[in-house]
Chains A and B, each alone.
Chain A
Amino acid sequence: NAGVTQTPKFQVLKTGQSMTLQCAQDMNHEYMSWYRQDPGMGLRLIHYSVGAGITDQGEVPNGYNVSRSTTEDFPLRLLSAAPSQTSVYFCASSYGPGYGELFFGEGSRLTVL
């Protein structure tokens, strides 16, 4: 059982470049989300989705786009990377209702030069 899979694990970008962080889960979870974690900080919610075709903004959505065309996949797009987006990104999923356990991926470390 793969759980939540994130790719790539490491990425270096130049300012202004675009890229997509991939997230896939094989647990048939309705809820998926993206967090970023900066040094010494807790996780901050970027975007989340409660099902295919439904997305919403979290705490820090600016500079990021998401879409949810399938239950399994929830990619995070950076259209024009900025140094402030240097961070570790975590994808998480859960069955759906608010009280459920969140399963996290191993993280994607992004550096923007």
Chain B
Amino acid sequence: DAKTTQPNSMESNEEEPVHLPCNHSTISGTDYIHWYRQLPSQGPEYVIHGLTSNVNNRMASLAIAEDRKSSTLILHRATLRDAAVYYCILRRGGSNYKLTFGKGTLLTVNP
């Protein structure tokens, strides 16, 4: 399975945009890029996913590089409730149902 690389931690100020990077240089053509986040003492929750094109939803935006070897999760205005561990994961479409989580990026949001 293709691996992802994320910074261990990042820091942001409240109400400022946050750009969380993820490298996935060995991504295959059928791998979807997923982002999940895990708030303290909770299970992970889905944030966004995409294949080739940039994606937007109510929580965040996902910017995917043209060669798909990297992506960036964008939180447009960070709030204190966005402090969490963010996981960038590749999930192969079709018959492979597994998700492999790395250690993720711990995002700290300062008031």
- A30, chain B: closest CB distance, angstroms: 9
Q: Which residues of the partner chain B approach A96 to less than 8 Å between Cβ atoms?
A: 97
- Interface 9-mer from A35-43, A64-72, A74-82: A35-43
Q: Identify whether the interface residues of B are mostly helix, strand, loop, or mixed.
A: loop
Q: What 1/0 mask marks residues of chain A from 42 to 77 whose CB sits below 8 Å from any chain B CB?
A: 111100101000000011000000000000000000
B101-A99 in contact (CB<8A): no
Task: Tell me how far the C-beta of A41 lies from the nearest C-beta in chain B, rounded to whole angstroms.
Answer: 7
A28 to B: closest C-beta gap in Å: 16
| B: number of interface residues (CB 8 Å) | 25
A-B residue pairs in contact (CB < 8 Å), sample of 19: A33-B97, A42-B101, A45-B100, A48-B97, A58-B98, A90-B44, A92-B44, A96-B97, A98-B93, A99-B49, A101-B46, A102-B36, A102-B46, A102-B99, A104-B43, A104-B45, A105-B43, A106-B43, A107-B41
Q: Which residues of A contact B (CB under 8 A)?
A: 4, 31, 33, 35, 40-45, 48, 50, 58-59, 90, 92, 94, 96-99, 101-107
